[in-house]
A and B are shown apart, each in its own frame.
Chain A
Amino acid sequence: GAGVSQTPSNKVTEKGKYVELRCDPISGHTALYWYRQSLGQGPEFLIYFQGTGAADDSGLPNDRFFAVRPEGSVSTLKIQRTERGDSAVYLCASSLRGGTSEVEQFFGPGTRLTVL
């Protein structure tokens, strides 16, 4: 079966531009997560969706970052007025359900964002 997919795999943009990163979770998974992985670091939590709603967006670094999941499946991470410090790999994960510490998260291959 299909895993978590992310598009594009690579995105190069200029400082100040707007970008959208897309995540297709595993079918039937109600929970979806976004992480950011900077070079040499582990992934850092950004936002968690349960269904269509953002259950926890405490990891979003500032108001330039926004994410949606309008139909409870595909999610889009949106970054406005990109800065060079936003350059990182953005990872998406999904799980069958949220709200528990034991559930496994399934990760996509990531989108590598480079801001020039």
Chain B
Amino acid sequence: AQSVTQLDSHVSVSEGTPVLLRCNYSSSYSPSLFWYVQHPNKGLQLLLKYTSAATLVKGINGFEAEFKKSETSFHLTKPSAHMSDAAEYFCVVTYYSGTYKYIFGTGTRLKVLA
């Protein structure tokens, strides 16, 4: 069965320091993986996606993620946090069961301290 686990429900970082949001997945085949961000009262926005091409994926706003099959991980990183990065982040894995579906993690709320 496919599943996705976000290991931290809350992460706090100081502005200008690195961000690491962790995601592990379980899939019986080669999945596609996504990271979405959700700002308050805004729709979910795609940050980046992995679809079996390069394992290091670069996204918008300086975020990147590395697909590591041996570790079944797809952690999201950013070298230097900005106040505007404060939001909820969701890791998503796709799976096929008649049709392709998204499975969302439970989310990580990122807080950026001045």
Interface residues on B, range: 20 to 34
Known interface pairs A41-B106, A42-B105; A98-B44 also in contact (CB < 8 Å): no
Give the complex CA separation of A42 and B100 in angstroms.
17
A100: min CB distance to chain B, Å: 6
Give the complex CA separation of A98 and B94 in angstroms.
12
Chain A, 58-116, CB within 8 A of any chain B CB: 58-59, 91, 93, 98-102, 104-110
User: What number of A-B contacts does a CB cutoff of 8 Å give?
Assistant: 66
Q: Is the interface of A mostly helix, strand, loop or mixed?
A: loop
Assess whether A55 is interfacial by the CB under 8 Å rule.
yes
Q: Mark A45-67, 1 if CB is under 8 A from B, else 0.
A: 10010000001101100000000
Q: Mark B91-103, 1 if CB is under 8 A from A, else 0.
A: 0001111111111
B43: min CB distance to chain A, Å: 4
B44: min CB distance to chain A, Å: 4
Q: Once the chains bind, are B44 and A101 in contact (CB under 8 Å)?
A: no
Chain B, 24-80, CB within 8 A of any chain A CB: 31-32, 34, 36, 41-46, 49, 51
Give the complex CA separation of A108 and B94 in angstroms.
19
In this complex, how many residues of chain A approach chain B with their Cβ under 8 Å: the count is 29
**B residues less than 8 Å from A35 (CB atoms):** 102, 104
14 more A-B contacts (CB under 8 A) besides A42-B107, A56-B98, A102-B49?
A35-B102, A42-B106, A43-B102, A43-B104, A48-B99, A55-B99, A56-B99, A91-B44, A101-B51, A101-B96, A101-B100, A107-B44, A107-B45, A109-B41
Interface residues of A (CB under 8 A from B): 3-4, 33, 35, 40-45, 48, 55-56, 58-59, 91, 93, 98-102, 104-110
